[in-house]
Structure 1
Amino acid sequence: MTRSDLVQELAARFQQFTQRDAEYAAKAILDALGEALVRGHRIEIRGFGSFSISHRLPRVGRNPRTGEAVQVPSKRVAHFKPGKALRNTVAGLAGDGGE
């Protein structure tokens, strides 16, 4: 699902929203999530999952073209952990869940 798909879904589900309202709502929510992560906050949405920031340590990588060693600096990356309800829903859609 892309951002524009999300906007269309919001507009379809909530008849009182115009396409522009749905676009504004999606942008406001995504911006708020992004800003919270930048500030280092953990975001938890019950039934969906949680977003947090993980720290990756510096390491030595390889240039795939030349094989030359390259220093990769430390960085902060966003991490998503699905909630139990989402995991169960996805497992149900996958059929028997592989078990």
Structure 2
Amino acid sequence: MTKKELVDAIAKEADLTQADADKALGAVVSAISGALAKGDKVAVPGFGTFEVRERSARSGRNPQTGETIQIAASKAPAFKPATQLKSAVSGK
């Protein structure tokens, strides 16, 4: 599903104009991104939880040269789906 298709679905489901649905989607994405940037969790009941996970430093290997390299620690966004979402996707 593309952003346009998602905006169309939001507009139809919530009885909004295309412009209002686009603004609403942008506001949701912005709010989730901002919360994750601050290190907060975002829980949407029935959908899932967005959070930031820490990746520790580790050694890796350059596939072209075989040389061992050090990979720095980092933070990455993660999503854990709710049970209701898992059930909806699996058809149960």
The answer as to 2:84 corresponding to 1:85 is yes
User: Is 1:18 aligned to 2:17, yes or no?
Assistant: yes
* Distance in 2 between residues matched to 1:61 and 1:31, nearest whole Å: 34
* Separation of aligned partners in 2, 1:3 and 1:63: 36
Structure 2's unaligned 5+ residue stretches are none
In 2, Cα distance between equivalents of 1:20 and 1:67: 52
Matches within 5 A, 1:49-88: 49-88=48-87
- Secondary structure at 2:76's aligned position in 1? strand
Report the 3-state secondary structure (helix = DSSP H, G, I; strand = E; otherwise coil) of the residue aligned with 1:65.
Answer: coil
Write out per-residue CA displacement over residues 18-73 of structure 1, whole angstroms, 9 at most, x where no aligned residue: 21111111000000000000101111111111111110001111122222222111
Q: Percent identity?
A: 38
2:5 maps to a residue whose letter is D
Match of 1:39 in 2: 38
- List alignment gaps of at least 5 residues for structure 1: 94-99
Shift of 1:3: 2.2
Superposition RMSD in Å: 1.4
Deviates more, 1:55-64 or 1:26-35: 55-64
Number of residue-to-residue matches in the alignment: 92
TM-score normalised by L of structure 1: 0.84
Separation in 2, partners of 1:58, 1:2: 35
